[in-house]
Structure 1
C-alpha cells in the first residue's frame, strides 16, 4: 500500500528568518494523523534567511540528520566541532546523553535550504557523536546512512537506512525489501513515479507491505529524493 503526503498538505511555519514546511507534527504544528513513520519522527523542509539560524540549543536521545540542498551551514557543537556543511553533504548527529549545537546560514547574502530529519534511536544515552560526509552524485539508489556504517556510510543508532536517489530523465532503479519493512520517500526535485504513484517536489510517500519498489523519472527532468528504509 502507498499513502501519499502531498507537499501542499504539510504544516507551515513562518518565523521571518525561517520559513518551513513540516511533514510531521513539530513545534507549533500538530496533527495527530501525522506524527511520523516508524522511527522517523521529523522531516522539516527549511528555508533560512542570510546570516540567520538556530541559536545554541540542546538535544538528547535523537539521531539528527541534515541535508543541505542549497547554500552552506555554519555548525558548532559542544563536542568542539566547528565546521561548514555545504550543499550535497550529509550530517548525522547522535545526540546520545546530550549535545548542544548551533546551525547558521554561513552566507550574509544568499539563502539556505535544507532538510532537517529526526530518527528516534534504538539505543539511549551514551556519548554523543558527529559525522559528516559527501557521497557524490552517482546515479541510482545509494545508501548514505546505515546501522553498521558499512561501505563508508554514516552510522546510525537505529535499524534504519537512508538512501539517496538520483535519476536522470527517462531512467529508473528498483529497491527490494522484506515485507516487514516500512519505506518513506521524500521527493526533493523532479517528477517521480513510485511504482504507479506520481510524486511532485515536496511530496512524501509511505509504503507498507511492498517488497519491490520501482522508481522512475519522466522524460524531461532529473530526480532527487531521499528514501528511508525503516522497521515496521
Structure 2
C-alpha cells in the first residue's frame, strides 16, 4: 500500500525570514493524522533568507539529519563543531543527552534551501555525536545510494536507530529498484523534480507512506531527486 501526501497538503509556516513546509506536525502546525511515521518524526522543507537563521537552541534524544538543496548552511554546536553544509553534503547530529547548536544561512545574498529531518533514536541519553560527509554525485545518479544506516554500511553515516536512508537522482531512462525486507515500512520524499514510484507519478514535495510493498521501483524521472527511508514496521513514532 502506498499512501501519497501531496506537497500542497503539507503544513505551511511563514516567519518572514523563514518559510517552511511541514510534512508532519511541527511547531504551531498540528494534524492528528500526520504525527510521524514509524521512527520518522519530522521532515521540514525550509527556505532561509540571506544572513538569517536559527540562533543557539538545545535538543536532546533525537537524530537530526540536514540535507542542503541550494545555498550554504553554517553550523556551530556545543561539542566543538563548526562546519559549512553545501548541496551534496549529508549532516547528522545525534544529540543524545543534549546539544546546543545554531544554523545560519552562510550567504548575505542568496537563500539557503534545505530539508531538516528528525528520527527518534533507539535509546535515550546517548553520547552526543556529529557526522558529516559529501556524497559523490555519481553514486546517486540513476541509483539509490545509502547515506545513513545503523552499522555504517557502504561508508554511510551511523545513525542510532534501525533505519536506512537512501538518496537517488533520476532522469529519462534511469531507473532503480529497492527491495524491502519482509514486513518493513518505507517513506519516500520527492526532494525535487518528478518521478514514478511503482507506476504512480509523484512531484517535488510529495511524500508517500509505504506498507506491505516488497519492492520500490523508481523510473520516468524528470530532474528528480528522492530520499527513501527504510523503517521499522510500527504505526506510531516510538520514543526511547
TM-score normalized with structure 2 length: 0.94
Residue deviations 1:28-87, cap 9 Å, x none?
Answer: 000000001100000000000000000000000000000000001111000010111111
Contact 1:62 1:120 in 2 (8 A): yes
Residue deviations 1:145-178, cap 9 Å, x none?
Answer: 0001122110000000110011122221001112
Contact 1:217 1:223 in 2 (8 A): no
CA displacement at 1:194 relative to structure 2: 0.6
**Distance between the aligned counterparts of 1:108 and 1:20, measured in 2?**
20
Q: Which runs of 5+ in 1 are unaligned?
A: none
CA RMSD of the aligned region, Å?
0.8
Aligned twin of 1:146: 149
Q: Secondary structure at the match of 2:8?
A: helix
4+ runs deviating over 6 angstroms: none
Aligned pair 1:11/2:11, yes or no? Answer: yes
Aligned twin of 2:238: none
Aligned pair 1:129/2:129, yes or no? Answer: yes
Select the residue among 210, 214, 219 that pairs with 1:211: 214
Task: List aligned pairs for 1:188-207, cutoff 5 A.
Answer: 188-207=191-210
Q: Which runs of 5+ in 2 are unaligned?
A: 234-240
Aligned pair 1:64/2:67, yes or no? Answer: no
TM-score normalized with structure 1 length: 0.97
Aligned pair 1:186/2:189, yes or no? Answer: yes
**Distance between the aligned counterparts of 2:192 and 2:79, measured in 1?**
34
CA displacement at 1:222 relative to structure 2: 2.5
Aligned twin of 2:106: 106
Contact 2:96 2:128 in 1 (8 A): yes
Q: Secondary structure at the match of 2:80?
A: coil
Contact 2:170 2:195 in 1 (8 A): no
**Distance between the aligned counterparts of 1:101 and 1:91, measured in 2?**
13
Task: List aligned pairs for 1:75-94, cutoff 5 A.
Answer: 75-94=75-94
Contact 1:184 1:207 in 2 (8 A): yes
Aligned twin of 2:237: none
Number of aligned pairs?
230
Aligned pair 1:222/2:226, yes or no? Answer: no
**Distance between the aligned counterparts of 1:181 and 1:117, measured in 2?**
20
Aligned twin of 1:22: 22
Q: Secondary structure at the match of 2:172?
A: coil
